[in-house]
Homo-oligomer: A and B are copies of this chain.
């Protein structure tokens, strides 16, 4: 499957996966209950579903203490070009786009973010360099954010988190490989149909102009393709 939110599952699919496959106690553990909010429980569900491993109360507490809830309003920025990307964010609710602006003022969208997606500028986050990208929030958005040492701590201390994060990186590699191939080998029309098939939620959540910037086609070309498609 061709998607960039992990294993291509939305919130409800992840919930049902976790109900089916994973033994998991709902928010009733006294030690965690006082600390964790609904956003944390979403992350626990996600980690459990992706890793196939359970989380102890101690591990849940460590996760809660390591992440920070951040709320951004539509049009606010998670990252701006020229800044160092200090955080990786896990989207609980909302959507984002990561884009660059070239010398001719054209915008290119390198990634969209939806619920259950991690967002960051990999180069800037991992290598402490100034980012060439903006990450803008497209709707009112809630994120759990972590800096590098917090990610490293959780990877080292919570096997389920390490497993989930490795799986996320693997899925990203697969997704990017396909996206590079699409950019090189497909016509604008093929890329659009591919998106409709594999990322139907994108065409529901993002404007036609945004989709064009993501596909690397001119808005008028996409408009023509869509008319033809209807």
Chain A interface (Cβ within 8 Å of chain B)? 100, 102, 106, 108-111, 121-123, 126-127, 132-133, 166, 169-170, 172-174, 176-181, 183-186, 213, 216
Contacts and interface: CB of A to CB of B under 8 A. Distances in A.
Contacts of A126: 170, 174
Number of copies: 2
A176 B186 contact: no
Most B CB contacts (10 A, CB to CB) among A110, A176, A184 go to A184
B174 A173 contact: no
Nearest to A186: B102
A178 B216 contact: no
A221 to B, nearest CB: 14
A184 B122 contact: no
A123 B166 contact: no
Given A127-B174, A169-B169, A169-B173, A181 B132 contact: yes
A185 B122 contact: no
B183 A180 contact: yes
A184 B108 contact: yes
Contacts of A213: 184
A193 to B, nearest CB: 13
B180 A121 contact: no
